[in-house]
Amino acid sequence: MVLIWITGFSGAGKTTVAKIVQEQLQAKNKNAILLDGDEVRSALGLTDNYSPEERKKIAFSYAKLGKLLADQGFYVIVATISMFEDVRQWNRRNNSHYLEVYLKVSEEERRIRDPKSLYQTGQELVEQGVLYEEPQNPDMLLEAGQKLQPEDMAAMIQQAVLDF
């Protein structure tokens, strides 16, 4: 059916927004599945290696799993940092109904939110563009500076998806 790919830095609100999108779609009797990057990684026991190569391999796994489920008629919401532009481009080429959403949050706001304490432990190098390739042409760019609440963002995403 549809692959909704929500990307952004750690602390952008991806999981929060994705859960609301899932709830909203389910309230409209849509079969919506949420694949949260952290939860999928943990469920598959992939928590040991964070090398760029391993991250890309896992990202392609998320993309292929999302496509597999979307092809079976599900509304699939993937919430992941999704560092690599080539993975997002693969999604665009291989899914007829694909919505890429970039939740953009300033570094200052990420430091305030910091749900994983990445910015306190020095792991923020991964987050500051060392590996992260910002989306070149997302279908939706939602910025925290717009003062949108997660519910507002989710409603915008849901409307875009239902317009497919």
Task: Indicate which residues carry an active-site annotation.
Answer: 82
Which tokens go with 55? 């991250």
Which tokens go with 108? 């200052």
Q: How many residues does the chain have?
A: 164
Which tokens go with 125? 């190098």
Long-range interactions of 27-30: CB distance < 8 A, separation 24+:
28/158, 28/162, 30/75
Residue written as tokens 């970039």?
Answer: 102
Q: What is the chain's Cα-based Rg?
A: 15
Cα gap 23→17, rounded to integer Å: 10
